[in-house]
Amino acid sequence: MEKIPGKVFLVGAGPGDAGLITKKGYDCLKTCSCVVYDRLAGEELLELVLPDCQKIYVGKRAGKHEKSQEEINQILVDCAKKHERVVRLKGGDPFVFGRGGEEIEVLQKNGIEFEVIPGITSAVAVPECAGIPVTHRAVSRGFHVLTGHIGKTNPSTGEEPDSLEYLMFRQLAREKDTLVFLMGLGAVERITERLMKEGMPKDTPVAVISEGTTLYEKQVRGTLLDISQRVKMEGMRSPAVIVIGENAKKCYQSGKTTSLRVGIVGTKEFEWRMKQELLQEKIGSVCVCRMEVIWEKEQRNRLSEILQRTKEEQNLSAFSWVIFTSQNAVRLFFTLAEEKHIDHRSFAGLKFAVIGNATGEELRKHGFEADFIPEDASVKGFFKEVKDQIKEGDRLLVPRAKRGMERWEKELRALSCEYEMLPVYDVEGRPTSHFQRVPELTHLIFASASGVEAFFEEQKRRKQNLPKDICMICIGEMTAEKLKEYGRSPDGVSAVHEAGGIAAELKRQTISFTSIYS
Positions annotated as catalytic residues are 38, 60, 183
The neighbour count for residue 345, using CB atoms within 10 Å, is 8
Distance from C-alpha of 136 to C-alpha of 422, rounded to nearest angstrom: 64
Query: Cβ distance 27 to 104 under 8 Å?
Result: no
- Find out whether the peptide bond into 239 is cis, omega within 30 degrees of 0: yes
| DSSP 8-state code for residue 180 | E
Longest CA span, the chain: 94
Query: Cβ distance 191 to 242 under 8 Å?
Result: yes
59-71 in b/e burial notation, b at 16+ Cβ within 10 A?
Answer: ebeeeeeebeeee
Query: Cβ distance 182 to 147 under 8 Å?
Result: yes
Residue type, 84: E
What sections of 415-498 are H helices per DSSP?
449-462, 477-485
- Concatenate the DSSP letters of all residues of 301-364 into one string: HHHHHHHHHHHHHTS-TT-SEEEE-SHHHHHHHHHHHHHTT--GGGGTT-EEEESSHHHHHHHH
Query: Cβ distance 211 to 97 under 8 Å?
Result: no
Distance from C-alpha of 504 to C-alpha of 481, rounded to nearest angstrom: 21
Those residues with Cβ within 8 angstroms of residue 461's Cβ, 6 or more apart along the chain or in another chain: none
Mapping DSSP to helix (H, G, I), strand (E, B) and coil, where does residue 291 land?
A: strand
Residue 430 host element (H or E): strand 418-431
